[in-house]
A and B are shown apart, each in its own frame.
Chain A
Amino acid sequence: METKNIIIVGVGGQGSLLASKILGHLLLNEGFDVKVSEVHGMSQRGGSVITYVRFGDKVYSPVVDKGQADFIVSFEILETARWLSYLKADGQIVTNTQQIDPMPVITGAATYPENLVEKIRAQGIKIDAMDCLTLARQAGSQKAVNIVLLGRLSHYFDISETAWQNSLRANVPPKFLDINQRAFELGKKFV
C-alpha cells in the first residue's frame, strides 16, 4: 500500500499529542508500518503546532511535506487555513470550527480572516467542519475535542469499530473512557 499521510494541526496545548498517540496505536495494530512526528518545546506555548502521522507498508520520512497530506485533522480553523498547502489535491479535511485569536490579532496588528470554511469549500476541497467544542461539552468534557475529531476521521478509514475502541481504551484513563467514547460517537455521526 502506498504510504498515507495525516497532519494534525492546532494551537499548542490543545491535545494533539493524545490524538496522534491513539492513531499510532491503532495503525500499528492494523499491521501497518507507522511513523509519528511531534513538536515539543518553544512552539508548544500557544504557538501553531503540527504533528505528522504516516502509515503504509514501509514508511521512511517521519514528516509530511506540502501537497502530500491525505487528511488534515485540525483543532482550529485558522490553523486549517495555515496548513492548507499540505493537502493533496483530493485530500479530506476534518476540522473544528473553533476560533482562537493569535497574538497579532489580539494586539490588532492583524485581522482574523472571515468565513474560512466557506472559502476552503469554494476551492472544491472536501471539508467536514464541526463545532467540536460544543460536541465535546455534550460528551461531558471540553477537553474531548481531539476525540470528536478522531470520531469523524474514523468515518474515512476501513478499520473496524472494535479496533478504534481498543485504541481509545488503551490510551485514555479509565475514568474518562465514557466521555471519550461519547465524544467519538458524536464525531463519527456528524453530518
Chain B
Amino acid sequence: MKELMLGNKALARGLWEAGVAFVSSYPGTPSTEITEEAVKFNEIYCEWAPNEKVAMESAFGASLAGKRAFCGQKHVGLNVAADPLFTLSYTGINAGLVIVVADDAGMHSSQNEQDSRHYAIAAKVPMLEPADSAEALNFAKLAYEISEQFDTPVIIKMCTRVAHSQSVVETSERVEHSKTYEKNIAKYVMMPGNAKKRHPIVEERTKKLIEYAETTPINRVEFLTDELGIITSSTSYQYVKEVFGEGASVLKLGMINPLPVELIKNFASRVKKLVVVEELDPIIENHVKSLGLAVEGSELLPRIDEFSQNLVAERLGVRGQGSGVSLEDAIPPRPPVMCAGCPHRGLFYSLKKRKCTVLGDIGCYTLGAVPPLSTIELTLCMGASIGATHGFNKMLGKDSESKTVAVIGDSTFMHSGMTGLANVAYNQSNSTVIILDNSITGMTGHQQNPSTGLNIKGDPAGKIDLEALCRAMGIKRVRVVDPYNLKECDVAIKEELAAQEPSVIISRRPCALLKTVKHKPPLYVDKNKCIGCKSCMKIGCPAISMKDGKAVVDQTQCVGCEVCSQLCPKKAFAREA
C-alpha cells in the first residue's frame, strides 16, 4: 500500500517489517519519532532508556539473547553511546543490531553540527544513509541483513530533512527472525587476549564490506551524460536531482561506510568532470581524492549548515540563488520562548533577581538564556551544568559558591546529571544544584523518564525519588520549591547559596503543556489599576504585552499561573468574577 510517511515513521515501519523485537532509545531531535512510532507495534518491546549508552547496551543485550534489536539517538547522543559502539564492533552481534544516528545539519535543534559519519569510520562499522522515507524503510530492513551476514552492528545515518520529511512509501508485512544465545567467551569477553583476536576479524570484515559496497544496489549509478558526474548521498542527492534533472550523471551512495573503490573509479572514468555533493565534512570527497582521482567538492560547497536546491544550483554554476520580494520594514525576529505558564519562568526570574551565575544544561530551560531573562551563562552538553559548576566553584571559592548555581532538568539529570552530583558529593564542592523537575522530557515533545513514574506507553512504571536519590548520594540539604511561588523560590535560593555545604533545590511543577495539567482561568489586567510600570514584563511571558501604556494579557495564551501578578505593585491582575 502507498502511504505518505514521515522518514522516522518509515524507519520504524522498516524495523517492524524486519522482525525487530526490542527498541531502547533516549529521545533527541530529529530522532525521537522512530521510537514513538515503533511503540505503536505490539510485536516490538519499546522503552525510553535513561541515556543513549544504556539504550545501546540494552539493545545489544537483546541481540545477544537472539532477537533483532534497535536503538536510536541524535548525533550528540552517539557521543554518549560511543563507548559500547567501539567495542561492539569487535564482539559483533547475535541477532541483528541496528543503530540510528540522526544528524542535524543546520542545527535546527542542537548544540553542534557534528558529522556522525566519522563514527562509522572510527568504529569500523557499516553505515547506510537513506535519502527519503522509502529508503528509510527499506534500508532499515537491509541493515538487519547486513548486520547478520557480516556479524556487525550497522548504523543508519538520518538527517533532519530525511527524518522530518514525509514522502511516499510502500509497506509490506512483518517477517519474524530469531536466534538462540550460545555462550562464547572468546567472542563476547573483550579482555586483551580475546580482543587481540577479534581486531583482525574486524579488519577482514571491512575488506568484505568494501566488496559488498562495490555491488550493492543501494550504491547506484544513474548514467545520463559524460559531461558531469556527481557523487552524492542522503538529502544532497535530492537537491542534485532537483537542480540537474537529466543534466548530470549521478553516483548515489546508499552505503556511506565503507565506501566502494572500483565503483567510484569506474564512474569517474566515464565523466569529464567529477564533483562530490555532501553536507558537512568532506568524507566522500577525501575518499575519492585518496584514490588519486581529480574531484571538486570543498572548493564549491560550504562545510557548514545544510544545503538546499538553490545553494547547490548557485555553487555548481547552474543559476543564481533565487530571490523573491521583500518589504522595506524591518521584520523583528521571532526566537523560541518559554511557553505561557512554563514553570521554569518563575525560577529563572528568581535567579536573575539574585544576580546568580547560572550554568545551564540541555532542555527547554536553555531558553533562560534569551532576553529578557538572559540568565543562563553556559550550555554545553547533557549533564555538564553540574560538572562545570563543581570545577568553577573549586577554583573561585567563596565568591562563586555564594552565587553560582547549576540548573538541570529532571530528564537530563537522569541522563547524565547524577554522576556530576556524585562528584559534588564525593569531592565536596560547596555547589548548589537546581533540578528543574517538570515531570517530563519537554523539548523533544513529552517523553517519560525514570523520575516520572510512567513508561513509554504512559503505563505505571518504576519511579526514582529525586529527593531520596540526592540524599543517598550524601547531599544533606535537599528541598523542594514550587516555581509558581516567587517568594518561596527566592528564600530557597538565598538560603542554599549561603549554606556551607552542597545542596539541591528541586523546582517542581509539571510542564504547562502536559494534557494532564489543569490550568486556572486566564488573568486580565484592570486598566484602572495598571500604572504601566512594566514590572510584569521582566519575566518574558508571551501572553503579556503593552498596549497604550498598559499591560494586556492575551486570553488565548494565558494559563493563569499568576507569576506576573506576584510582580505587580498595584495588584492589577485579576480574574473575571
B-side interface size class: 35 or more
Is the CB of A19 closer than 8 A to any CB of chain B? no
Interface string of B76-117 (1 = CB under 8 A from A): 000000000000000000000000000000001100000000
| Total A-B Cβ pairs within 8 A | 194
Nearest residue (CB) in B for A48 is: B334
Question: What CA separation (Å) do A20 and B372 show in the bound complex?
Answer: 33
Is the CB of A131 closer than 8 A to any CB of chain B? no
Is the CB of A42 closer than 8 A to any CB of chain B? yes
B336:A46 contact, CB within 8 angstroms? yes
Across-interface contacts of B364 in A (CB, < 8 A): 45
Is the CB of B322 closer than 8 A to any CB of chain A? yes
A67:B322 contact, CB within 8 angstroms? yes
Is the CB of A176 closer than 8 A to any CB of chain B? no
Which of B239, B325, B326 gathers most chain A CB within 10 Å? B325
**Option from A40, A89, A116 in Cβ contact (under 8 Å) with B164:** A40
Across-interface contacts of A104 in B (CB, < 8 A): 332-333, 335, 371
Report the minimum CB–CB distance from A113 to chain B (whole Å). 4
**Option from A67, A78, A142 in Cβ contact (under 8 Å) with B331:** A78
**Option from B3, B321, B325 in Cβ contact (under 8 Å) with A87:** B325
Once A41-B109, A43-B109 are accepted as A-B contacts, the answer to whether A28 and B324 lie under 8 Å apart by CB is: no
A61:B309 contact, CB within 8 angstroms? yes
Question: What CA separation (Å) do A44 and B322 show in the bound complex?
Answer: 27
Is the CB of A106 closer than 8 A to any CB of chain B? yes
Is the CB of B206 closer than 8 A to any CB of chain A? no
> Interface with B: A118-126, A146-154, A158-166, A183-191, which one?
A118-126
Across-interface contacts of B476 in A (CB, < 8 A): none
Across-interface contacts of A36 in B (CB, < 8 A): 4, 165-167
Is the CB of B339 closer than 8 A to any CB of chain A? yes
**Option from B4, B329, B332 in Cβ contact (under 8 Å) with A24:** B4
**Option from A45, A84, A113 in Cβ contact (under 8 Å) with B367:** A45
A106:B540 contact, CB within 8 angstroms? yes
Across-interface contacts of A112 in B (CB, < 8 A): 332
A66:B321 contact, CB within 8 angstroms? yes
Question: CB within 8 Å of A: which of B294-331?
Answer: 308-310, 321-331
Across-interface contacts of A103 in B (CB, < 8 A): 334-335, 337, 370-372, 540, 542
Interface string of A39-68 (1 = CB under 8 A from B): 111111111100000000001111101111
With A40-B108, A62-B162, A66-B322 given, name 5 new contacts (CB 8 A): A35-B165, A38-B6, A62-B132, A62-B161, A100-B554
23 pairs from A and B in contact (CB 8 Å cutoff): A28-B2, A28-B4, A35-B165, A35-B167, A37-B161, A40-B109, A41-B443, A42-B443, A43-B109, A46-B339, A47-B337, A60-B241, A61-B241, A62-B162, A62-B235, A65-B308, A66-B310, A87-B324, A103-B337, A103-B370, A106-B540, A107-B371, A113-B329
Q: Which residue numbers of B lie inside 8 Å of A, CB to CB?
A: 2-4, 6, 29-30, 32-33, 108-109, 132, 161-162, 164-168, 235, 238-239, 241-242, 308-310, 321-339, 364, 367, 370-372, 443-445, 537, 540, 542, 544-546, 554, 556
Give the top 3 A-B pairs by smallest Cβ distance, nearest first.
A41-B109, A67-B322, A41-B29
